[in-house]
Chain A
Amino acid sequence: QKEVEQDPGPLSVPEGAIVSLNCTYSNSAFQYFMWYRQYSRKGPELLMYTYSSGNKEDGRFTAQVDKSSKYISLFIRDSQPSDSATYLCAMSDNAGNMLTFGGGTRLMVKP
């Protein structure tokens, strides 16, 4: 079993839809949780960064962390074609330590 599990997709939604992306993990030591967006042939871009449990909102993006269930989510409201990318969850047990990545979910938003 992988340390971080993420549905690879692809996930195809119409423009304007609410998108829900999820990861589960097994290591209870993880405290830092991140979501990255990666366009094809580009480096990952940090979208959301959360420490411990709770919600964090930034524009159309909301990140949720439920440490009791070892489950994290990223919600994208009013999805746009420009949101089409691969979304990677990542987590760490300490700031500055190595990140453990999920496999990535490929999202396609159709106009």
Chain B
Amino acid sequence: GAVVSQHPSWVICKSGTSVKIECRSLDFQATTMFWYRQFPKQSLMLMATSNEGSKATYEQGVEKDKFLINHASLTLSTLTVTSAHPEDSSFYICSAWGPSSYNEQFFGPGTRLTVL
């Protein structure tokens, strides 16, 4: 299957700082990338959908000014958690889809964010 990477794999930051998470599709062009959040022992919750070159579409209840998503190229999307607080601590996972990914979404390995 296709490879999607995320960086960093884990990050610890102080409350009030901003954190950027990168999601890259390494071997196919991802026209659409999805960002999920997963709390311990819970399922994935979709935060937003981003199409290359367009503004992201956020799910209800997700603050777009807090979770900034940029999908500037067909291989890279970024999620920036602005003014992070302890309640933002979670596992953030991206997935990527493109016409050549044979109708499948491929997931990254996730980024664990801990806000102190």
Contact = CB atoms under 8 A, between A and B. Distances in A.
- Size band of the B side of the interface? 20 to 34
Contacts of A54: none
Interface string A67-111: 000000000000000000000100000011011011110100000
B108 A43 contact: yes
Interface residues of A, number: 21
B109 A98 contact: no
B44 A42 contact: no
A102 B44 CA distance: 9
B44 A41 contact: no
B101 to A, nearest CB: 8
B97 A41 contact: no
A34 B41 CA distance: 20
Contacts of A32: 103
Q: Which one of A32, A43, A49 has the greatest number of beta carbons of chain B within 10 Å?
A: A43
Given A88-B43, A98-B49, A42 B109 contact: yes
Nearest to B48: A98
B34 interface: yes
Interface of A: 32, 34, 36, 41-46, 49, 51, 88, 95-96, 98-99, 101-104, 106
